[in-house]
Structure formats: C-alpha cells, structure tokens
Structure 1
Amino acid sequence: MYRTRTGARGTTADTRPARSRRARGAGLGVAAWLLGLLFFLPIAWMVLTSLHSEPDAATNPPSWAASLTLDGYREFFGVGGGASPWPALINSTVASLASTLLVLLLAFPAAYALSIRPVKKWTDVLFFFLSTKMLPVVAGLLPLYLFAKNTGLLDNIWLLVLLYTSMNLPIAVWMMQSFLAEVPVAVIEAAQLDGARLPTVLARVVAPIAAPGIAATALICFIFSWNELLFARVLTGVVAETAPVFLTGFITSQGLFLAKVCAASLVISLPVLAAGFAAQDKLVQGLSLGAVK
C-alpha cells in the first residue's frame, strides 16, 4: 500500500510540470497571435482605407460601414488621364533585381574567402565592411550628386544599380559569411580531391548547401533596394523615377488624399510581399542557419 501511494503521488507530481509547460506554451501562443494581429492591424487599416472614397477615408473617426469602391486604384493606374505608374514600377524592378544579382555575385566569393578559406586578419576585413555603413547616407549625397552631374549619370537607372549594390554589399558579406561558415569543410575537400576547381566548388558544392542563406540575403537586399527613397529622390527625375518616388507624387499642395495614397502604397508593397511569401521557407531556414549546433 505504501508503494502504491508513493507511485500515485509520484505520478501526480510528474504531471504537474507537464501541465505547467502546456499552459505556458498556450499562453505564449496566444501572446504571439495577439502580437501578430497588432502588427497586421495597420496593413488591414490601409487595405480598408484604399477601398473607400476620399470623403469617407477623410472622416474622423473613420467609417467602417462606408461603401467600398476601387476609385483609388483607378487613379493610381492612371485610368482617366492620370500618370501611369508602370515606368516607375519597371525602374524599381530593374534596379532591385540587377543590384541584388550583382551583390550576390560579389558577396558570395568574398564570404567564401572570409569563412571557409579565411584570409589573414579576416575579422579586420569584416569590420571594414561594417565601417562603410557608419557614414550617414545624407553625408555622401552631395558628392554623389556632383559626380552624377559631371558624368552625365543624373536620371539614369544604372547609377541607382551601382549605388544599391554598394549599399547592400557590406550587409550581404556579413550575412553570407555566417551562413558559409556552417558549410562542412570535409565536403569541399572531398570535391577538391575529385578534381573540382574553385568555380565548380562554389557553384555545385557550396551554393546548394548554403541556398537558404543565399535566398535570405537576396530577399533582404531586394527589399532594401525596392524601398530606397533618398538616392532615387535626389538623383532621378522622370526617366529613372522609381516606385517610392512616384508614391511621393500623391502628396500635393492640395492635400493628402488618403484613399489614393493607401491604394498606391498597397500596390507598390505587393512585389516585396510576394517575394517574401515565395521565399519564406528559405528565409526562415537561412536566418536560423547555425542557430542550433
């Protein structure tokens, strides 16, 4: 009898930590959902406002039961004689994709040299890359403007490609260095024993293993390039105008038209949201690469 009671008490004591862990997990899950809804609320508000007419969007407090309309999207796409957003969207696409491709081509071998085959004083090299981000962007704006003016590169989309590449390259090297550091050296040495040269090792051995990290780096560089405004605002005019610059054109001296601005903001944000949704599994794997040994 004594042993039976002890076993029962032991079973009860063992179930209490399990119940506590389940309750704690449920509480954290509810908190995560509430936090996610809190971050999603401004996006939902923007979508709802974009579907209202300008008088209904400007009411204070906003009217949730107002009739829905697509007038904001029609005005954004230039239906009825307005400016077309397609040139700006194409410019942003070209600048973002081209700069991201250049960043990956330059950062991948640099990260390989700093991680798998480290050069001397590689930590100093990484600090040098990081130090290039310490200068405020606005401090270099005037020299860049004068350079673009004297070389005839003002209002040129390829100037933005070069600037976005230099802007994102330090971040890409830092990210990819940590990703490539997790690649097993034994796999690389086995490929080299089989006669594989460096380009083959990079393309067929290292790149497939580090694909999640490369995808995460590419996505972040694409987002930074797509959202950049300061360079594009100062160094472009009409020919190389990007989507963020086009968006600022909706703020006029007549006022801020909330429905039109929300519709434009939602459409311009869709490429980034689509890229993030398409690469979300690679992004999660890349950002967590090396977190668990």
Structure 2
Amino acid sequence: MSTATAPARGTSHPHVPTSRREQKARRMDRSSPLWAVLAWVVGFLFVAPVLWMVLTSLHSEEDAATNPPSVAASLTLDGYRAFFDSSPAAPLLNSAGASLISTAIVLCLAIPAAYALSIRPVRKWTDVMFFFLSTKFLPIVAGLLPLYLFSLNTGLVDNIWMLIVLYTAMNLPIAVWMMQSFLAEVPGEMLEAASIDGAGLIRTLRSIVAPVAVPGIAATALICFIFSWNELLLARTLTATVAGTAPVFLTGFVTSQGLFLAQLCAAATVVSLPVLVAGFAAQDKLVQGLSLGAVK
C-alpha cells in the first residue's frame, strides 16, 4: 500500500505561480502579441490616409476622379509636373521663412520665461501659466477683422513679417507650457553648482539648461514649426500674391472648373515633405521630449 507524500514546507507546486508578480508577468506575456497587433492596426489607420494621398498623386485626373477609386490604375507623374509648372517656389519659401523665423523667436522668448516659471519661480506663477493658456481660449476667427484692419492701416497686408508676428504670438503660449514642464526636470544640483562657480543667467541657460533640455527644445520647436507651416486661416486672410504661403497655394487647386484631385494630392505630398523630414531628423529627441521630459 503506497502512501502520498506531502510536499515539503516552503516549496510550491511547479504549475502554480508563486507570487502575484509571476501571475502578472504571465498575463502580460500572453497579451503582448495582442497589443502588438493592435499597435500595428492603429499605426496603419494613421498612415493609410497618407499612403492613399501619395497613391492618388501618382494617378491621372480621370483615374483619381473615379468612384469608387481605382487602386490598380496606371501610374503617372503628371500631377507632380503640373504642380512644379505652377511656380510653387515662392509660397514654399514664404512658409519656410515664416515658420523658421517665428519658431526661433518663440524659443528665444519661451526658454527664459519657462526658466522663470519652473527653475526660478516667480510669485503666483500658476496665475501666469493660466494667463498664457487663456490666450488660446479665443478662436482665431474671432480676431480676423481687427487683425485685417490693423494690417490694412499699417500697410502690412500681404507682408510676411505680419505672419511672423502672428505665428509667434500663436505658438508662444504652447511653447511656454511645454518648456515649463521640461525645465522643471532639470536637476537643482546642477544649477546650484553653476551658481557656486559664478555662472550668470545667460551662461546658465546656454551651458547648463539648454544641453539638458535638448529633447524638450526639439519637441517644442518641431510642434511650433508644424503649427506655423500648416496654418491657413491667417495666411488666407492677410496675404495675396506676394506673401502667400504653401497652404494658401494648395487651395488654388480647388477652382470653379472643378477639383483637380491628382494635382492637389501631388501638391499636398510635396508640401508635407519638409515636416516629415524634420520629424524623422528629430524623432529621437522628439520621443524623449514628449515621453520623458528633459531628465528623469
């Protein structure tokens, strides 16, 4: 007659998890493929419109206008030829100049302001942050008439510098909010060491704060550049033939003669390239800045 031997004290059954941590780890291992598939599906949903735009830009106007669209239609570069034949250099340069200059000005103003609100906080700094945020409460369309009348009376209609000033004012509150959260992560010990060494404000910002906050600065600069590059309402209202930007130029493909869909998609693809290039060039810094802040 055989007898069952009880397991020794302190040992566990090999098929039973020994702790809640093991159970959680096993559940995560089983669910990780599902999360991977879900991530690919969501990523494809975001990329699909862009891929469709690129594919449509390579079709003829007849094939692009079919309903339902013809995916297997023959490819052609006629849309890109028509785009480059319409002299897009001036609008692209206007967009690049307004976006780059306004972004540089925004960073020059936002970094010292964020420094004062995070590292060297002033009295009632939360009220200051709320004031910056409150400037975004009013829709831009509500200020179009005053802005147009001001531009008209000062001779700044169809002037690229008017757009630079407006883009700077538009992006500065966002930049201050972003940079404040990034600069709040700068270690205080580094600032104390710089102060002991006799570093002034400018040197501290240039030698201590800026290198540590590079991811945050890159993320802020890229977002401000995208907002300025894609802005249409102000540019459409305050510019004409001289200072027209790339988004205004795109609207020229929607005429009373009809919608030139292939040409519009080709133009939109070319206009999107600077933003895509900037995003790929700064993707490492952008991910660090948006996910972790300056230092964790």
TM-score normalised per structure 2: 0.94
Structure 1 stretches of 4+ with a deviation exceeding 4 A read 4-8, 14-17, 290-293
- Aligned partners of 2:23, 2:176: CA distance in 1, in Å? 48
Distance 1:193 1:112 in 2: 18
Cα distance in 1 for residues equivalent to 2:269 and 2:227: 17
Query: How far does residue 4 in structure 1 lie from its aligned partner after superposition?
Result: 7.3
Q: Does 1:127 align with 2:169?
A: no
Residue 31 of structure 2: aligned partner: 24
Partner of 1:13 in structure 2? Answer: 17
1:17 deviates by 4.8
SS of the aligned residue for 1:288 comes to helix
- 1:155-194 → structure 2 map (5 Å cutoff): 155-194=158-197
Bigger CA drift: 14-23 or 211-220? 14-23
Query: What secondary structure, in the 3-state scheme, does the structure 1 residue paired with 2:292 have?
Result: coil
Write out aligned runs for 1:84-95 (5 A): 84-95=87-98
Pick one of 256, 259, 265 that aligns with 1:256.
259
Distance 1:245 1:190 in 2: 51
CA contact (8 A) 2:79 2:266 kept: yes
**Residue deviations 1:13-35, cap 9 Å, x none?**
35765432112111111101111
Distance in structure 2 (CA, Å) of the matches to 1:103 and 1:291: 19
Q: Does 1:69 align with 2:76?
A: yes
What one-letter code is carried by the residue in structure 1 that aligns with 2:267? A
Q: CA RMSD in A?
A: 1.8
Q: Which residue number corresponds to residue 55 of structure 1?
A: 62
The C-alpha deviation readout for 1:240-276, integer Å capped at 9, x for no partner, is 0100000000000011111111101111011111111
Is the CA contact 1:250–1:257 (under 8 Å) kept in the aligned structure 2? yes
Q: What's the CA shift for 1:291?
A: 9.9
Query: How far, CA to CA, are the matches of 2:123 and 2:44 in structure 1?
Result: 48
Specify which of 38, 52, 68 is matched with residue 45 of structure 2. Answer: 38
Q: How many aligned positions are there? A: 289
Q: Is 1:230 the equivalent of 2:230?
A: no
After TM superposition, the structure 1 = structure 2 runs for residues 212-227 of structure 1, keeping only pairs within 5 Å, are 212-227=215-230
8 Å Cα contact 2:215/2:294 also seen in 1:
no
Is 1:265 paired with 2:268? yes
Indicate which of 115, 119, 141 corresponds to 1:116: 119
Amino acid at match of 2:176: V
C-alpha separation between the residues in 1 aligned to 2:194 and 2:295?
A: 26
* Separation of aligned partners in 2, 1:101 and 1:216: 13
In the alignment, the residues of structure 1 paired with residue 231 and residue 105 of structure 2 have an alpha-carbon distance, to the nearest angstrom, of: 17
Question: Is this contact kept in 1: 2:216–2:294, CA < 8 A?
Answer: no
Aligned 8 A contact 1:213 1:283 in 2: yes
- In terms of Rg, which structure is larger? 2
Aligned counterpart, 1:2? 6
Contact residue 111 and residue 176 of structure 1 kept, 8 A: yes
* Mapped partners of 2:170, 2:72: distance in 1: 45
Question: How many angstroms apart in 1 are the aligned matches of 2:25 and 2:183?
Answer: 39
Residue deviations 1:42-83, cap 9 Å, x none? Answer: 1111111110001111111111221100000000001xxxx2
* Separation (CA, whole Å) in 2 of partners of 1:8 and 1:166: 65
The residue identity in structure 1 corresponding to 2:43 is G
Query: What is aligned with 2:243?
Result: 240
* Identical positions, percent: 70
User: 1:209-246: CA deviations, max 9, x gaps?
Assistant: 11100110000000000000001001000110100000
> Partner of 1:101 in structure 2?
104
Per-residue deviation, residues 81-137 of structure 1 (Å, max 9, x unmatched): xx2001000000000000000000000000000000000000000000011111110
How far apart, in 2, do the equivalents of 1:105 and 1:112 lie?
11
Q: 1:189, CA displacement in angstroms?
A: 1.2
Distance 1:107 1:17, change over 3 A: closer
Q: CA deviation at 1:9?
A: 2.3
Question: Within 2, Cα distance between the matches of 1:18 and 1:127?
Answer: 42
SS in 1 for 2:7: helix
- Structure 1 contact 213–289 (Cα < 8 Å) conserved: no
